[in-house]
């Protein structure tokens, strides 16, 4: 292929691939950023913002649409517009009953407890839905990069995400065709964006109240090393919950007038959600705002003034929950508020004045708000991506695992093997033995959480050790190694020490996808929907053409002199046609234009190839070659 | 001082070489002190320890090897897990003392469980007070803070005793090791109670086995 050769020819003197995206996969909005010319920048195609609402619309027939366009269908087609997928990541149906009550979806679960959302009779896992969002974010990012296809990325998750939720995020990226370099905690990423390494030494608190999750992280920064001391949070507390308070208010007052049929209507629920969100946002700048629900088709027209004072009194219990998490994090970090040198606010919900005031009062200092709280996480992820690609070698992140890891013992109690806030990567070794003569297998149950009883913690899976050689009871010595990696994800290994046989560990995750399921979905993704494939192809062709255009424009001026006029004209025309094709969505035309373009670049490629060969040979005697 | 088998530079940590960036495979038996390149002993300079942690982490952390082949990345995962494990032992005085007592052949926690009757009576008394605090609704009762002050004093005293017993390091088999173990056992009780008080003060539900 012509363009690949051109890229090879660009190689002498140019840098190898060093680009990787930082992606904030948020509950309400998602965003990509990249590290360019010494600083992180948000990626957005010309003429539009970078924030992609994490919303998917499934039209009756045709391709799912992601982003603002999807959001616009929320009221008209509520059952087919999916919001807040992140709340379902790595969760079972039992975990999300409260969410489901306020969202108009049909949800089911597989026999293994995997949650699935149903749209047009087709079932989607949260991983698949998040993959659609990631693909859209990736496409827009590549467009912003002039068609360059960057697939390496760092993806952020709430610090308080457990193992299954992290794995689900990794799987979603895999389904989207992305290569995840690292899963980074959102507040930790945010601390990188603020350039806090400028101060030589200090303790920093990142207060991150996003759309659906809350995290607070305490870091010690010294000599470019960002060491997380403790993190605490709540994966079910975010801006959405503040919206819910207003939506609830509307329901309480509308119920008696319009009856429960209206309250359960999906269109009404979406309308309320959106209106509540608008009202909340307005109350951040105005002392008073309007909450309104107008649905002409249902003869609903309701308006009500809400004062900031009234809203804040509704919010107070939620704000206090964030402060009690701050106390917890400080206590775990063995620090008091007076020892904190900087406080950073992250997440759209920190725009609420009552949140800012409460945080300022608790820490006794004015928090940083210089960076856009919606962008700071993606910017930090881009810094981390740059570090991982070998860019900034002076910075290093040391993060922690947010939850204790334990094994269920006889009687249902938990024996902790790794304490919460242990720095990752970390490892623990536990010994297991057999209870019965000739027993060849041992089952154990791994949980994450702080409670004393296994049933109150989050189940990560039941693990089975098989292939233990038959021995009298208690003689087998099985050493099990638990390793939490830099992404915060657990792996388990086991070995029988007496005989040296490596026992087979079979892991049956309680939630989340198995590797086999991810593989199947990847295959299905291609085999099933032709439209899926075509749209992907269109995006890929545009990216390919973009790369070819840049390579050609870069080399044509230098090469012009060495080419005959006809070849130059031919190339310019083919390039023009290819550019034109990129403004349309026609896969056939794009394919033809690309092929034509590629053919037309061959003379230039050949010329450059010769030049490079000559340069490489210059100064060498014939005999050396 | 050991030297790097790859570039012959002096090694600050046996886990990896800061000069050439080679990850190494020190024997499993190495002590946490050796992993951080420190002399074994109870007295430790917390600032110096942290500095060693940061310097060594720059050599072994997986982020430094993000674009390396998988086996190298796994090596970095293993070595940084070992480094973090070693730091955790050394950074906490109780863990550090526990490790030293075991290392010097003193009685382990499971070998020497017996505690003086008087101490156990005291434990019962705190537990009663904690039980009361737990059953009371709302904010933590004032009596809890008094208990906290008392237990903190006891903890500081027990830590001072451990320090006196372990500096200088006793010989192997010295009776001071058994005395230190008793103090450490008391510290486990004290720290557990103090943690519970803190949790109660944070008004988090405390579960009981």
The domain total for chain B is 2
Within this chain, do residues B113 and B28 fall inside the same structural domain, yes or no?
no
Residue B115, min C-alpha distance to chain A (Å): 24
Closest-CA distance, B175 to chain A, in angstroms, reads 30
The answer to whether position B120 is within a domain reads yes
**Is pLDDT above 60 for A507?**
no
Q: Residue B25: which CATH number?
A: 1.10.287.110
Query: Which of 108-137 (B) contact A at CB < 8 A?
Result: none
- Which range is least confidently modeled, A44-48, A346-350, A460-464, B17-21? A44-48
Same domain, B56 and B122: no
Q: What's the pLDDT tens digit per position in A358-387?
A: 999 999 999 999 999 999 999 999 999 999
User: Which of B91, B124, B140 is the C-terminal boundary of a domain?
Assistant: B91
Choose one of B35, B58, B91: the last residue of a domain: B91
Please give the average per-residue pLDDT across A98-127, as a whole number: 82
In a domain, B65, yes or no: yes
Indicate whether B34 belongs to any domain: yes
Whether residue A621 is predicted with pLDDT greater than 70 in this model: the reply is no
Q: Domain check: are B19 and B59 in the same one?
A: yes
The CA radius of gyration of chain B, in Å to the nearest whole number, is 21
* Residue B23 forms part of a structural domain: yes
For chain A, the straight-line distance linking the first and the last C-alpha, in angstroms and rounded, comes to 28
CA-based nearest residue to B42, from B162, B187, B181, B188? B162
Edge-to-edge order in the sheet of strand A65-66: A65-66, A56-57, A81-82
Nearest C-alpha in A relative to B83 = A426
The band of A612, judged by pLDDT with boundaries at 50, 70 and 90, is: low
Residue scoring higher pLDDT (B132 or A428): A428
pLDDT at A451: 84
Residue B207 has pLDDT above 50, yes or no: no
Query: Inter-chain contact B57–A398, Cβ cutoff 8 Å?
Result: yes
pLDDT at A532: 57
Average pLDDT, chain B: 89
Which comes out higher in pLDDT, residue B31 or A296?
A: B31
Q: At CA A282, angle to CA A276 and CA A288, rounded to 5?
A: 95
Structural domain includes residue B169: yes
Q: Which ipTM value was assigned to this complex?
A: 0.91
pLDDT in tens, A4-44: 333 333 333 344 457 999 999 999 999 999 999 889 999 98
β-sheet bridge partners, residue A373: none
Look at residues A544, A562, A572, A545 and name the one whose alpha carbon lies nearest to residue A612: A562
Q: What is the pLDDT of residue A508?
A: 55
Domain extent for B138: 108-202
Q: List CB contacts (< 8 A) between A388 and chain B.
A: 63, 66-67
Quote the tokens at residue B103.
């290392």
Q: Is A164 within 8 Å of A90 (Cβ atoms)?
A: yes
> Could you give the residue ranges of the DSSP H alpha helices within A259-400?
260-263, 266-285, 308-332, 353-363, 376-388
Residues B113 and B198 in one domain: yes
**B74 touches A at CB < 8 Å:** no
Do B74 and B43 lie in one domain? The reply is: yes
Q: What is the dihedral of CA A555, A558, A564, A565, to 10 degrees?
A: 80
Identify whether residues B193 and B149 lie together within a single domain.
Answer: yes
Secondary element (H or E) of residue B140: none
Residues B8 and B81 occupy one common structural domain? yes
Could you tell me if A64 and A56 are in contact, meaning their C-beta atoms sit under 8 angstroms apart? Answer: yes
Is B186 found in the same domain as B124?
Answer: yes
pLDDT of residue B138: 58
Q: Say whether B66 and A453 touch across the interface (CB within 8 A).
A: no
Six token digits for residue A556 = 């044509």
Spatial separation of the C-alpha atoms in residues A390 and B64, rounded to whole Å:
8
Q: What percent of chain A has pLDDT over 90?
A: 45
Of B33, B65, B91, the last residue of a domain is B91
Q: Are residues B115 and B85 in the same domain?
A: no
Q: Are B71 and B131 in the same domain?
A: no
CB A230 within 8 A of CB A216: no
Q: What is the mean pLDDT of residues A298-325?
A: 92
Res A504: pLDDT: 60
- Do B84 and B48 fall within a single domain? yes
| Dist. CA A302–CA A252, nearest whole Å | 13
Q: Is B122 found in the same domain as B83?
A: no
Task: Look at residue A528 and tell me whether its pLDDT is greater than 60.
Answer: no
Residue B98: inside a domain: no
Distance separating alpha carbons of residues B1 and A619, to the nearest angstrom: 48
| Residue numbers in A near B81 (CB within 8 A) | 425-427, 483
Whole-angstrom distance, CA of residue A539 vs CA of residue A132: 14
Q: Would you say residue B162 lies in a domain?
A: yes
- Residue B61 in any domain: the answer is yes
pLDDT (0 to 100) of residue A60: 82
Summarised one tens digit per residue, pLDDT across range A413-447 is 888 999 999 999 999 998 888 888 888 888 888 88
A388, A487, A380, A377: which is closest to A19 by C-alpha? A388
């Amino acid at each position: 292929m012509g363009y690949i050769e051109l890229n090879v020819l660009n190689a002498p003197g140019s840098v190898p691939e060093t680009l990787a995206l930082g992606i904030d996969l948020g509950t309400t909005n998602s965003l990509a950023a990249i590290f360019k010319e010494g600083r992180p920048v948000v990626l957005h195609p010309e003429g539009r913002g970078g924030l992609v609402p994490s919303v998917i619309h499934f039209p009756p027939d045709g391709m799912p649409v992601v982003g603002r366009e999807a959001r616009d269908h929320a009221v008209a087609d509520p059952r087919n517009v999916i919001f807040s997928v992140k709340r379902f990541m790595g969760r079972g149906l039992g975990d999300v009953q409260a969410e489901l009550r306020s969202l108009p979806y049909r949800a089911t679960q597989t026999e293994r407890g995997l949650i699935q959302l149903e749209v047009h009779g087709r079932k989607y896992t949260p991983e698949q839905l998040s993959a659609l969002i990631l693909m859209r974010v990736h496409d827009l990012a590549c467009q912003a990069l002039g068609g360059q296809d960057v697939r390496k990325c760092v993806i952020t998750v709430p610090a308080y995400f457990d193992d299954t939720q992290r794995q689900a995020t990794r799987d979603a990226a895999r389904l989207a065709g992305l290569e995840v370099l690292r899963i980074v905690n959102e507040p930790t990423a945010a601390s990188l964006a603020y350039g806090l390494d400028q101060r030589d030494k200090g303790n920093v608190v990142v207060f991150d109240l996003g759309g659906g999750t809350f995290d607070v992280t305490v870091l010690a920064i010294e000599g470019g090393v960002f060491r997380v001391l403790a993190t605490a949070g709540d994966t079910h507390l975010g801006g959405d919950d503040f919206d819910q308070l207003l939506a609830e208010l509307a329901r309480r007052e509308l119920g008696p007038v319009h009856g429960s049929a209206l309250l359960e209507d999906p269109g009404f629920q979406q309308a309320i959600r959106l209106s509540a969100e608008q009202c909340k946002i307005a109350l951040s700048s105005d002392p008073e705002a309007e909450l309104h629900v107008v649905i002409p088709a249902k003869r609903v027209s309701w308006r009500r003034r809400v004062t900031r004072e009234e809203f804040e009194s509704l919010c107070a219990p939620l704000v206090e929950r964030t402060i009690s998490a701050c106390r917890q994090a400080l206590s775990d970090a063995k620090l008091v508020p007076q020892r904190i040198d900087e406080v950073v606010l992250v997440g759209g919900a920190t725009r609420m004045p009552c949140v800012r005031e409460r945080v300022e009062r608790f820490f006794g200092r004015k928090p940083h708000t210089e960076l856009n709280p919606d962008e700071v996480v993606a910017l930090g992820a881009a810094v981390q991506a740059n570090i991982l690609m070998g860019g900034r070698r002076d910075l290093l992140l040391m993060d922690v695992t947010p939850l204790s890891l334990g094994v269920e013992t006889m009687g249902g109690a938990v024996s902790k093997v790794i304490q919460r806030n242990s720095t990752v990567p970390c490892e623990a070794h536990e010994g297991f033995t057999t209870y019965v003569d000739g027993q060849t297998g041992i089952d154990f149950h791994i949980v994450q959480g702080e409670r004393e009883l296994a049933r109150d913690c989050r189940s990560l899976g039941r693990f089975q050790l098989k292939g233990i050689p038959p021995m009298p009871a208690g003689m087998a010595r099985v050493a099990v190694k638990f390793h939490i990696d830099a992404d915060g994800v657990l792996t388990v290994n086991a070995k029988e020490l007496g005989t040296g046989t490596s026992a087979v560990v079979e892991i049956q995750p309680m939630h989340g996808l198995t590797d086999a399921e991810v593989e199947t979905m990847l295959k299905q993704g291609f085999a099933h929907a032709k439209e899926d494939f075509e749209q992907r192809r269109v995006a890929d062709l545009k990216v390919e053409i973009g790369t070819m255009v840049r390579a050609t424009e870069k080399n044509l001026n230098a090469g012009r002199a060495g080419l005959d006029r006809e070849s130059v004209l031919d190339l310019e025309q083919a390039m023009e046609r290819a550019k034109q094709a990129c403004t349309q969505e026609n896969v056939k035309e794009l394919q033809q234009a690309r092929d034509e373009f590629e053919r037309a670049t061959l003379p230039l490629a050949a010329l450059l190839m010769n030049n490079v060969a000559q340069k490489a040979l210059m100064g060498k005697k014939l005999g050396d070659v | 001082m050991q030297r790097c088998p790859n570039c012959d530079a002096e090694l600050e940590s046996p886990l990896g070489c800061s000069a050439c960036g080679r990850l190494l495979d020190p024997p499993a038996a190495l002590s946490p002190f050796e992993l951080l390149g420190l002399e074994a002993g109870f007295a430790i300079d917390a600032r110096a320890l942290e500095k060693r942690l940061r310097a060594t982490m720059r050599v072994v952390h997986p982020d430094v090897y993000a674009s390396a082949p998988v086996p190298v990345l796994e090596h970095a995962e293993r070595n940084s897990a070992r480094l973090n494990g070693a730091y955790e032992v050394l950074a906490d005085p109780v863990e550090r003392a526990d490790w030293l007592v075991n290392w010097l052949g003193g009685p382990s926690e499971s070998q020497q469980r017996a505690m003086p009757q008087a101490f156990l009576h005291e434990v019962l008394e705190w537990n009663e007070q904690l039980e009361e605090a737990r059953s009371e609704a709302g904010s933590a009762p004032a009596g809890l803070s008094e208990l906290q002050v008392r237990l903190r004093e006891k903890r500081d005293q027990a830590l001072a005793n451990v320090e006196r017993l372990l500096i200088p390091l006793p010989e192997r088999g010295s009776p001071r090791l058994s005395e230190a173990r008793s103090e450490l056992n008391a510290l486990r009780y004290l720290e557990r109670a103090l943690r519970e008080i803190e949790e109660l003060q944070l008004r988090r539900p405390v579960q009981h086995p």
